[in-house]
Amino acid sequence: MSEIISSDNLRKLAAEWIEQGVRVAAPQHAGGRVLYLPLKNSADLLLDAFIHPANSAKEFLFPKSETLYAYRVEGQDVKLVEAPGTETPQVLLGVRPCDAAAFPILDHIFNWDCADELYNRRRRNTTIVVLACSAHDANCFCTSVGLGPASERGADVLLVPLTNDTFEVRSVTEKGRSLFAGKTQTDNVAAMAAAGPEPRFAPDAVRKFSAANFEHPIWGEHALACVGCGACAHTCPTCHCFDIVDEHGERVRNWDSCQFSLFTLHASGHNPRPDQGSRQRQRILHKFSIYPDKFGEILCTGCGNCTRNCPAGLGVLPLLIAIEHEEHLPA
């Protein structure tokens, strides 16, 4: 037995949520691109004909810019003002499996040793409705990192396309079940997940190589084309680096990236990562060796956004393929 919903009813449901004051974010057309954006009108909800939005869904749990707290300077005294913070429920609707899978991965960093309440509060109040992929492009590599077009990792509900305008609704968590309770029809057909991309590399080989070859020409060679723009990190579902700065009476955290030259610059002027090669190395090492060693998971979900959005056509995939090739060369 399976639960089914038509795209019309899904739109109606989204409209109901919006009506109830739930914040809904979903893929939509925007200026010639597809982006995850706050959904104002359920007619704008995009349910097919896109591979992956140009951004990632992480910004709805970990915003680009977020006030940590505010302050008022009164003479020699200072008054701290807590960030308003919100308990408003949120639904991320139609997110790709590679975006959803990033949240359980990000949970580690925001909670090891001490808990980041700003992130956790949003996480608690968010329900994640994943839309399985029916197609992939040359940049997708979810199957190389243990995921796939219908992966349930991080999902509360998984929608799998059944026909042109119906979806099978697979509830993964209690939160997801209650969101769709009474909104589906029962049927005895089951949706077939699409085949994903062929695996492109083995993460273990990358981990082995990158942990053992801190000094290696491959880093510099691959970084030659990199302009250090950080687009890869900013559109990555798992990158989570941030800066803390003062802006207009507030202390704010803004996304940052290890691809920027100022990222590790010491006050003395010394920079342990003085060139783009050492910054690309950090990116691969962090994702495939450092994070897995610490938290038992690869910091990458294979979405391909880093390559899709890179002005130089880089991103991690070409480097990962080259590394695996290098690792298998006879010594």
Partner 1 sequence: MKNIYQPDLMEVAAVQRHTADVKSVKVRFRDADCAQQFQFRVGQFGIFSSFGYGESVFNICSSSTWSDGLEFCFRKTGRVTEALWEIEEGDTIGFRGPYGNGYPVEAWKGKNLIFLGGGIAMPPIRCAIWYALENRADYGDITIVYGARTVADLVYVNELAEWSKRERVRVIQCVDPGGETPNWTGEIGFVPTVFERAQVAAENSVALVIGPPIMIKNTMPVLDRMGLPRASVYTSLENRMKCGVGKCGRCNCGPVYVCKEGPVFTMEELAALPQDY
Ligand X SMILES: Cc1cc2nc3c(=O)[nH]c(=O)nc-3n(C[C@H](O)[C@H](O)[C@H](O)COP(=O)(O)OP(=O)(O)OC[C@H]3O[C@@H](n4cnc5c(N)ncnc54)[C@H](O)[C@@H]3O)c2cc1C
* Residue 84 binds: one of ligand X, partner 1, ligand SF4, none (C-beta under 5 to 8 A by kind): none
Of 134 and 271, nearer to ligand SF4 (C-beta) is 271
Per CB under 6 A, the list member of 22, 92, 239, 320 interacting with ligand SF4 is: 239
Closest by CA to 241, choosing from 222, 269, 219, 260, is: 260
Looking at the Cβ atoms of 173 and 271, the one nearer to ligand X is 271
233 binds ligand SF4 per the rule CB under 6 A: yes
| Pick 93 or 310: Cβ nearer ligand SF4 | 310
- Partner from ligand SF4, ligand X, partner 1, none contacting 287, C-beta within 5 to 8 A by type: ligand SF4
Question: Residue 242 corresponds to which amino acid?
Answer: F
Q: Which is nearer to partner 1, 8 or 243 (CB)?
A: 243
In angstroms, give the least distance from the CB of 70 to partner 1: 10
Q: Where does this chain touch ligand SF4 (CB under 6 A) — which range of 81-89, 167-175, 210-218, 229-237?
A: 229-237
Which residues lie near ligand X (CB under 6 A)? 262, 265, 267, 269
Q: Which of ligand SF4, partner 1, ligand X, none does residue 188 bind (CB under 5 to 8 Å by kind)?
A: none
Q: 3-class secondary structure for the chain?
A: CEEEEEHHHHHHHHHHHHHCCCEEEEEEEECCEEEEEECCCHHHCCCCCCCCCCCCHHHHCCCCEEEEEEEEEECCEEEEEECCCCCCCEEEEEECHHHHCHHHHHHHHHHCCCCCHHHHHHHHCEEEEEECCCCCCCCCCHHHHCCCCCCCCCCCEEEEEEECCEEEEEECCHHHHHHHCCCCEEECCCCCCCCCCCCCCCHHHHHHHHHHCCCCHHHHHHHCCCCCCCHHHHCCCCCCCEEEEEECCEEEEEECCCCCCCCCCCCCCCCCCCCHHHHHHHHHHHHHHHHHHHHCCCCCCCCCHHHHCCCCCCCHHHHHHHHHHHHCCCC
Burial class (CB in 10 A: 0-12, 13-18, 19+), 279: buried
Q: Does 258 bind ligand SF4 (CB under 6 A)?
A: yes
Question: Binding partner 1 by CB under 8 A: which of 89, 200, 251, 275?
Answer: 251
| 289 touching partner 1, by CB under 8 A | yes
> According to the binding rule CB under 8 A, does residue 83 interact with partner 1?
yes
The minimum distance between CB 327 and ligand SF4, in angstroms, equals 20
- From the list 35, 194, 290, 321, which residue makes contact with partner 1 (rule: CB under 8 A)? 290
110 binds, among ligand SF4, partner 1, ligand X, none (CB under 5 to 8 A by kind): partner 1
Identity of the residue, 114 or 262, whose beta carbon is nearer to ligand X in the bound complex: 262
Residues in touch with ligand SF4 (CB under 6 A): 226-233, 239-241, 257-259, 282-283, 286-287, 310-312, 314
